[in-house]
Structure 1
Amino acid sequence: MASTDGLVPITRAFLASYYNKYPFPPLSDDVSRLSSDMASLIQLLTLQSPPSQGEASLIEEANQQPPHKIDENMWKNREQMEEILFLLQPSRWPVQLREPCTSEDAELSSILRHLKDNFDKALAAMISFQTKNSERVFNTVMTYMPQDFRGTLIRQQKERSERNKQAEVDALVSSGGTIRDTYALLWKQQMERRRQLAQLGSASGVYKTLVKYLVGVPQVLLDFVRQINDDDGPMEEQRQRYGPPLYTLTKMATAIRVFLTLLWQRYDTFKLNKEQMNLLSEAAIVYTSEFERFVAFISDVFANSPFFISADAAGILGSRENEEYKEIIVQAGRTYEVSLMVESENSYIGWDFSLMQGKISMDIGFSVEYISASGEKTLILPYRRYEADQGNFSTLMAGNYKLVWDNSYSTFFKKTLRYKVDCIPPVVEQKVEDEDGLES
């Protein structure tokens, strides 16, 4: 477990300073020129034949402003590339292109095959970026988690959740779901991951039983995952800096998809001339190359961007103490007990304590007892002497428990004890959306 001493989550002000060192080289001027030309071609096609209801909805969507969130735009670009690749499959071409009889049709067929290669490459870069970025966020979170059963439970929870998500996508595709349907589901799942990340930080949902009431999880980590995706949080600086070029690429991808959709339905009456073929080819090549450049750039920025910074760097004096800790003085010759009622079998009891010591090294006896309904005591955790301890165990039965700090052997020294103790209900295996894993 990596130390978070003296650290706080990144702030928007810090990211603003950090991003100053990573300006994105502007998109090629060809992007705006070709996007404008593609819009003119789309208009020409709609004049050739009025758009159907489905085509009109697609055109209306293309005319809207792209989403504000970076990751939503990434998913939108991925969706448009999948749609374009679907249209570029030879089986989806107009019959004149599949069996070309003219030199113009043969030339366009050749161009389309080359364009498919470009979009395949760009889509692979997109998927690789999302996978690596997702793993980086999760692994960073796990680095600061206590290296015990909590981390194992969270990891298992994520793996199980991702299997359930993939099964949900596979079922949708098998039942005839469209690419649009699939990506609507994928984005819904992504928002669930984001919600779960926030739940880990606020200790709500299933993570309340896994994390918040299990001591030892750094508060700075909980703060980070709770606020990282806030609308006006640190990621808003990222959206302000790098959103505009991505929004432009989102609109360009959508325009290419709309153009091909309209063209395939009108190809028997509308043939592209040489200039229009070159325009389609250039637009696709420029889009895919600029998108790959953006993804490579943003990957480097994300890989080097810190999640935690020092309190001084954040302009915060000192670090916040966890308000859940309590302090008690255990006088010499006395014991101090904390009683807990465990309602369900296989619940967990967790604790975290340390002695507020001076120059003289001191320790205190610690044990855990089970008290039956008849008052009989059973030693659950054997007595040992500690200066500090952080631990937990799964109880064998419901009932009353006592955590006992023993200073009875001491003749002179009182002990100032700082502690936190919780009882955690058992984690029930069930297939519910609230048990998703973590991902940015």
Structure 2
Amino acid sequence: MATTEGLAPITRTYLARYYDKYPLPPLPDATTDLAARLRALSADLAAVAPIAPDEELLEQEAAGIPAHKIDENLWKNREQIEEILFLINSSRRPVALQQKSTPEDAEIVCTLDDIEAKLKDMLKKLEQFQLQKADNVFNTVMTYMPQDFRGTLIRQQRERSERNKQAEVDALVSAGGSIHDRYALLWKQQMERRVQLAQLGSATGVYKTLVRYLVGVPQVLLDFIRQINDDNGEVFVNTPFFISAEDAGAMDARKSDEYKETIIPAGKTHEVILSVEALNSYIAWDFSLQQGALNMVLDIGFHVEHISPSGEKTLILPYRRYEADQGNFCTVSLGSYKLVWDNSYSSFFKKILRYKVDAVPPVVEPALPAMEL
């Protein structure tokens, strides 16, 4: 786990000053001229071949005001590129172009093929950029997350959420959804991600459960998650993520922990019973032993069993001896779960156990209100 001592999350004021060091190069003068030529060409084409009903949406998008958020711009760029690729696909071209009836037709086909190849390359680069930046932010968060089962649960929650989102997109495509429909859904999902992460950072909604469980996560990290995912939050290529509290004129970063420590005498066991009141809750643990005298390597037995409301016991995790371990599992039964550390096999040596355990209620993605797209 990286230390956040003395750090504070980025602020917009600081970020504005920070990006003074990374000025964007001005658009070339030829850009304005090229845009004007493209509009004139579009008008000429529309006069010769009026826009079809299924092309009107693309015309509206092209003539609309550009999105002001960077991530919204990226999604819009991808959508418009896919719409253009759909329109200039060889199967949709006029018969004369498909047959290359004249040298002029052949030249047009060559130009369209070149445009198609460049757009496909650009679309691939945009997709890779978005994935890379999403992973960059997530990995930054995980770098500062305590390296125990808490981070594992966050990863599992993210993977499950992304699988569900992809299944939703696949279902839309299978049902005949258009490119516009698909990107409307993708943007809605992107906003859901931001809302959910902002909830995690501010401990609201269903994520109160997770934040309660994540005691020990530096507050500076939660502030960072909240700030970059609020309505105006943005993450740029050179974003520093965290800066010194002195630079930001902000708070110092504090952290707490909930590890417990106990001595297990030779011939004895230590038990912790966790109550589960909702299916699909998680039972999680993280433990280690302090090194013994003369630098001896010590281990301890560990197993987990379920106790039903009627008192029936079922072994969940078989007995095994560990020097340290962390893990979790999703429950399928209500009742109590008993975690047992066993030093009964030892005749002489006590064990000093440092551990953290918890029963985490299921974290369900919130039902978000319908959003204008």
Scaled by the length of structure 1, the TM-score of the pair is: 0.59
Q: Which residue of 2 aligns with 1:28?
A: 28
Q: Post-superposition shift, 1:7?
A: 1.0
Q: Which residue of 2 aligns with 1:45?
A: 45
1:427 matched to 2:362? The reply is yes
1:336-415 residue pairs with structure 2 within 5 A? 344=277
CA distance in 1, matches of 2:19, 2:38: 33
Q: Post-superposition shift, 1:18?
A: 1.5
Aligned residue type for 1:126: L
CA distance in 2, matches of 1:128, 1:185: 19
1:116-265 residue pairs with structure 2 within 5 A? 116-232=116-232, 235=234
Alpha-carbon spacing, 1:111–1:50, altered in 2? closer, same or farther (3 Å): closer
Q: Which runs of 5+ in 2 are unaligned?
A: 259-273, 286-325, 338-355, 369-373
Q: Post-superposition shift, 1:342?
A: 6.2
Deviates more, 1:78-87 or 1:148-157: 78-87
Aligned residue type for 1:138: F
Q: Which residue of 1 aligns with 2:241?
A: 307
Residues 55-81 of structure 1: CA distance to partner in whole angstroms, max 9, x if unpaired?
A: 444433322211111000001111111
Aligned residue type for 2:69: K
Residues 289-340 of structure 1: CA distance to partner in whole angstroms, max 9, x if unpaired?
A: xxxxxxxxxxxx62x4211111110023x52668999xxxxxxxxxxxxxxx
CA distance in 2, matches of 1:107, 1:349: 65
Percent identity among equivalent residues? 56
Q: Which residue of 2 aligns with 1:383?
A: none
CA distance in 1, matches of 2:118, 2:254: 53
1:2 matched to 2:2? The reply is yes
Alpha-carbon spacing, 1:176–1:433, altered in 2? closer, same or farther (3 Å): farther
CA distance in 2, matches of 1:29, 1:140: 38
CA distance in 1, matches of 2:72, 2:335: 47
1:10-25 residue pairs with structure 2 within 5 A? 10-25=10-25
Contact 2:218 2:255 (8 Å CA) reproduced: no
Aligned residue type for 2:243: I
Q: Post-superposition shift, 1:192?
A: 0.9
Contact 2:216 2:255 (8 Å CA) reproduced: no
CA distance in 1, matches of 2:328, 2:53: 62
Alpha-carbon spacing, 1:156–1:343, altered in 2? closer, same or farther (3 Å): closer
Contact 2:215 2:256 (8 Å CA) reproduced: no
CA distance in 1, matches of 2:57, 2:85: 20
Higher helix share: 1
CA distance in 2, matches of 1:393, 1:183: 36
Alpha-carbon spacing, 1:48–1:427, altered in 2? closer, same or farther (3 Å): same
CA distance in 2, matches of 1:165, 1:137: 19
Aligned residue type for 2:361: P
Q: Which runs of 5+ in 1 are unaligned?
A: 239-300, 326-340, 351-390, 400-420, 436-440
**Aligned partner of residue 8 in structure 1, secondary structure:** strand
Aligned residue type for 2:248: A
Q: Post-superposition shift, 1:141?
A: 0.7
Alpha-carbon spacing, 1:422–1:207, altered in 2? closer, same or farther (3 Å): farther
Alpha-carbon spacing, 1:347–1:52, altered in 2? closer, same or farther (3 Å): closer
**Aligned partner of residue 152 in structure 1, secondary structure:** helix
Residues 68-104 of structure 1: CA distance to partner in whole angstroms, max 9, x if unpaired?
A: 1100000111111111222232112111111121111
Residues 346-395 of structure 1: CA distance to partner in whole angstroms, max 9, x if unpaired?
A: 77799xxxxxxxxxxxxxxxxxxxxxxxxxxxxxxxxxxxxxxxx99999
Q: Post-superposition shift, 1:207?
A: 2.5
Alpha-carbon spacing, 1:397–1:49, altered in 2? closer, same or farther (3 Å): closer
Give the paired residue count.
292
Contact 1:196 1:434 (8 Å CA) reproduced: no
Scaled by the length of structure 2, the TM-score of the pair is: 0.68
